Every structure is written in C-alpha cells, then in structure tokens.
Structure 1
C-alpha cells in the first residue's frame, strides 16, 4: 500500500520532556524504527510530521537574542522542517541501507482571508503553568490557551489550500523515493497580486496538510501517529473508552479538544469520505499493528 504517515510533534518530543537534541533524536529513532517496519512489510510511505513543540522553542530562542535576530513564523517553520526532516532521514538511512530518501522543504498555500488569522488556536512551544503563560502573554503579546495539564502559546492555523511542491513529491514517489515532506504542515504562503509567494505568520496543522497531500498522491491510507494509542471518548476520565472503528456518520470532531485530537479526527474523516479509503489514528510505536487493523482507531467511509 501507499501510505501517507503523519508523525505528531508530541510523538517526537514528549509532553513535559526537556527539549534537548538528545531527547528529540531518541524519539525520532523510535519513529524511524516504526517507519522502517512499514517499509519492510512492503508498503510505500510518504512521511509528514508536526513541529508544534519545536517551532515554539525556536521562536523563544530567537526572541532571547538581539532584536534584529527575531524571525517570523514562516522562516521558523522552514527551520524546524529542515531540522526534524534531517533527523528522520538520518535515522531511516541507518535502518534502510540503500533506500532512496529525500527531505523536501514544502511550501503550502493558504487563503489570506482565512478567519483563522483572527482566531489563533494552534498550540506551539512548551507547556507553562497559567500564571507564567499569562505573564508571557502580557510581556510578548502572545495569545495563550489551556492545553492538557498546562497552558501554551497559540498561533493562527489557516487551512491548507494547495501544496506547491505536489508535482515534485509525486515524481519522487513514482521513482520509489521515501519522501519526508510537509513538515509542520508546510511553510505557509499566500499569493501576491503578481503571482509570487509571500510567507505568513502562522503554523498550518500537519493533519490537514497530510490529508491534502494523501489525496493528491492517491494514497491507500492516511496514518496519523501521536502519543496516545487510540481516539477516546471521555479521554482522561474514569469513563474513558477507546474507539476502535469510526465513520463520518458515527463520529463528530466537535466532541474532541480543538488543540489535540479534533484536527486528527477531522483530517481522517475527510480523507475517508473523499476517497473511500481508510484512515487510522494511534500511537507511534504501534504503526505496523495499526495498519494491520489490530491497534488504534480506524476510520472508514461506510
């Protein structure tokens, strides 16, 4: 099967884990092992990944330096895409000797009139307690919001409209290259009146970008990997129940948190409904079992 595999940013840097290069490399090593198992099973994979923790940290590092050293989010998106892609490609190369690999910086067009620009919802960077988050909001002009057990900075997350490198990615895939692309949802750009592209201050949700990419590539499955083993009703409560099979008729994304499971479920449902092919959500290390249908949450069109 041809599978678009989306690695969650929190699967690559665990919640509450120190954001060291060593920790990220260790997590990427685990991700690469799961990806290599899919390739060994005969699947053709295209890899995307999140960047929420990483791009937020890069923004903090830039803000701590000289005033003229601060960079807008589109450049930081590109920086994080290259950094994470490098780590994934390096680890995969060690597990898949002789396999052709490529990491591709990916520009993704968004609509400059998208209402998301006036309603920031995408969590980036580390977790804070509420008092610290409110102080950072006042000092830095951020928007902050609750995220699980803490608070995080939130930024605009417009919907992806067009993947600018789609033809290049398709060409590489047709030549059996394992492509790592669309990192962090891609680098958000809008079209100027003269047809040129301009970066914008946003972070695209990688699940929605992965759905768009998977459809364009004719993927047989969209696989969304994160740090929980399935989609749960009443997650985090004594009544939590894993959902093993869902359909557009039986699942409403509105039932789930906007900053975590909702975009994954929305993307999975959209892919299944548009293509008639399955999507699945689950834990990174369970990837082969999720594809086999014995773990995770499977989303089907019926």
Structure 2
C-alpha cells in the first residue's frame, strides 16, 4: 500500500514550547518507531509542516544586523526542508534497513492567487498581544489570533503542482522512504525564465493531499497534535469525530489557520481518489492507519 503522511509542525514542536532543537529531536525520536513500522510495511511519503521552525528562522533573519535584508520565506522554507528532513532521516534510520531520502521540493503556486493579499498561515511561536503588536511594528508583519495567543500570519497560496513528484515516485518504487514537500514545498511561480521563489508558505496539508493524489496513494494520513477532528473545539461541548463521510465533514466549519486546511485536504483527497484518509494524533499513527483511531474519512 502507498501511504502519504502529513506531519504537523506543531506535532514536532508542541504548541507554546520553546523552539529549541533538543525537544524537537526528542519528539521525532519518540514517534520514529511507529513511522518506521509503517514505512517497513508500505511505500511511505512523509510531508512535514514547518510553521514553528520557519517562523523562528524568519525572526532570526529579521533581527540579524549583518544582513542588508532578511532572507525571504522561500529560502527559509528550503532551510527547514533540510533541517527537519535530517532529523527524520536520522531517527527513522535507526529503525529501518531501507534508505530514507529527503527531496528538496518546489511547489508551483499561482502568482495571482488572492491568498497573497489575505495572509492566514500561522508561522513561528505564540505571543501575547503586546509582544505581537511590538513585533508587527518593528518588522511590519501581520499577526492573528491562535486560540488565546497571537502568531504571525503569512500568505498561503494553493499548491498547483509538486515539481519533484516524479522523482518521489521513482524512489518509492525502489524501496526508499521519501521525505517530500517539507513545509508544503518551496513556493515558486512559473516565469518565462523558469521557476522563481515567492514570499509565502504553502499549507503542508494541501500540498500533501496534492502529492497523495499525484502519487496514486491508497491512504492519506494527517498526523497532528490533537487526537481527532473536534466539533466546538475549545468549548465544553467539544466532541471528537470518529468515522465520517466527506459530505458530513464539509458541512462543518473549522478555523482557516489550523484545522480548516486539514479537513479541506482530506476531503479533497477522498473525493478525487475514492480512497480513505484520516486525521489524528502523531502518537497514534499505527492505530490511525489501521482505522481504529482518529477521524476516519471515507467516500
């Protein structure tokens, strides 16, 4: 079976935790066994998020007095692909006898996508309102509410094409586990001179759904920091959804900056492929794959 797994950036760095490297490496090590077990039994593609990590790099770049200009987001996404891919390769390599390869991946977006004028994608750490306002003033950034806190938001255009998907297919057929489209892929637009990077971060769940469709995946998993899709999340009435249809899931409303893209991604994949998708906790990866945990989405 061919399985595409989307790993949330907040699953690698729990919400509100300091963005030190050691907790992230430890978290990857904790879940590597389950991911490796899936990779040993199936053809597996891992698409990781990078919201906390790319936000940290952007903050460091903006504060570096030695730079004439901060590094643009597409360059920083490329950096996170190497960093997180390295962590995954090392951790999975301790459990697998077959190779794990990270592919530096470009994702084509539309230069006219209205998302460029309406930033919604959370990146970086959480702040209180005063901290957020000060960072917005100093760096001319946009912030939005993420639960009870504030986080930077950036443009997140829809993915149109994964440039290196053919390479990933070749690697999978050779028995190699592939880390693909990290952080949603490096956002690029098509020009007369070729591909050119743009200031954005592509949503990794939507990019993973596109990769799953283009690779002909049999199963698409979105693994994050919550056990299932919740209705009325954060209230006394919140309820975890078990097995649902695409139409039932699409009838509900979810926040654009967090669960919304995950729901959109699994619904898009299931509708187009006729195969199963699921959303749930990274720690429950094996049970979610087996269909006994998380929110299971069927045609």
Measured against the shorter chain, the TM-score band is: over 0.9
Match of 1:216 in 2: 214
Q: Which residue of structure 2 aligns with residue 120 of structure 1?
A: 119
Point out 4+ residue stretches in structure 1 off by more than 4 angstroms: none
For the Cα contact (< 8 Å) 1:74–1:200, is it kept in 2?
yes
State which drifts further: 167-176 or 277-286: 167-176
Counterpart-to-counterpart distance in 2, 1:119 and 1:214: 27
Question: Is residue 2:80 matched to residue 1:80?
Answer: yes
Verify the 8 A CA contact 1:2 1:44 in the aligned structure 2. Answer: yes
Q: Distance in 2 between matches of 1:38 and 1:133?
A: 40
Aligned to 2:57: 58
How far residue 256 of structure 1 moved from its aligned partner, in angstroms, is 0.8
TM-score in terms of structure 1 length: 0.96
Residue in structure 1 matched with residue 274 of structure 2 by the alignment: 276
Match of 1:30 in 2: 30
**Counterpart-to-counterpart distance in 1, 2:10 and 2:296:** 21
1:8–1:28: structure 2 CA closer, same or farther, 3 Å change rule? same
Aligned counterparts of 1:133 and 1:34: Cα–Cα separation in 2: 37
Shift of 1:193: 2.2
Which stretch shows the higher mean deviation, 222-231 or 246-255?
246-255
Structure-1 separation of matches of 2:250 and 2:90 = 38
Contact 1:6–1:49 at 8 Å: present in 2 too?
A: yes
Write the distance in 1 (CA, Å) between the matches of 2:82 and 2:158: 22
Residue 67 of structure 1 and its aligned partner are, at CA, apart by: 3.0
Residue 43 to residue 121, structure 1, CA distance change in 2 (3 Å): same
Other-structure match for 2:142: 143
Deviates more, 1:27-36 or 1:286-295: 27-36
CA positional deviation for 1:253: 6.7
Match of 2:196 among 172, 177, 198: 198
TM-score by length of 2: 0.97
CA apart distance, 1:69: 5.9
Alpha-carbon shift at residue 259 of structure 1 (Å):
0.9
Question: Do 1:122 and 1:205's aligned partners in 2 also have CA atoms closer than 8 Å?
Answer: yes
When residues 281 and 253 of structure 1 are mapped into structure 2, their CA distance, relative to the original with a 3 A threshold, is farther
1:293 aligns with 2:291: yes
CA contact (8 A) 2:278 2:294 kept: yes
User: Residue 202 of structure 2 aligns to a residue in which SS?
Assistant: coil
What do you get for the CA RMSD once the two structures are aligned? 1.1
Segment of structure 1 superposing worse, 117-126 or 27-36: 27-36
How far is the alpha carbon of 1:141 from its aligned partner? 0.6
What residue ranges of structure 1 are gaps of 5+ in the alignment?
A: none
Q: How many residues align?
A: 298
- 1:94-243, aligned counterparts within 5 Å? 94-96=94-96, 98-194=97-193, 196-243=194-241
Structure 2 residue 12 is the aligned partner of structure 1 residue 12? yes
1:89 maps to what in 2?
89
